Homo-oligomer: A and B are copies of this chain.
């Protein structure tokens, strides 16, 4: 999408999608996590057209997920390495991978997470970093945060649950409370 977060410019999901929503972007990041850093590696491993690779690489750099830095000066050559923000995308990729394995890999996983030391397969699960409690629904839910604007507040409950101004179209069919 071009314009994107027309209605919910604040939504962190929409904002993330603006950076990595294009099809190739996530796959390029996947390759970066795999160890690729040079133009050629991305191109061969992905089978992406060079002009598209250039474009996606540029936007990823512009968005601060990859850093372009010279590894040779004569001739001038660059490699593309993950920034801290890019590195932080790893859990997202791992979560997506787990979801894909769960539902779209009837033959079993083609790739999977394992303990590097023992090789034991690991299964990703979300917990709260502070308490360690599993992040399940409806024990946890998504609510408006401190920076929420009026529109966001009207669409997401606020906490504490002071019967937030309900969205008329939704209040009827969200019995236990809505999330995400």
Interface residues of A (CB under 8 A from B): 1, 4, 6-7, 10-17, 19, 21, 23-24, 26-27, 30, 33-38, 40-41, 44-47, 64, 85, 88-105, 107-117, 119, 122-133, 135, 137-149, 152, 155-156, 159-161, 169-170, 173-174, 177-180
Contacts and interface: CB of A to CB of B under 8 A. Distances in A.
Contacts of A128: 115, 122-125
A116 B145 contact: no
Given A12-B105, A13-B30, A90-B180, 10 more contacts: A19-B104, A91-B98, A91-B135, A92-B95, A94-B142, A109-B147, A111-B144, A112-B145, A116-B141, A122-B133
B147 A110 contact: yes
Q: How many chain copies does the complex carry?
A: 2
A13 B34 contact: no
A152 B23 CA distance: 20
A97 B13 contact: yes
A25 to B, nearest CB: 10
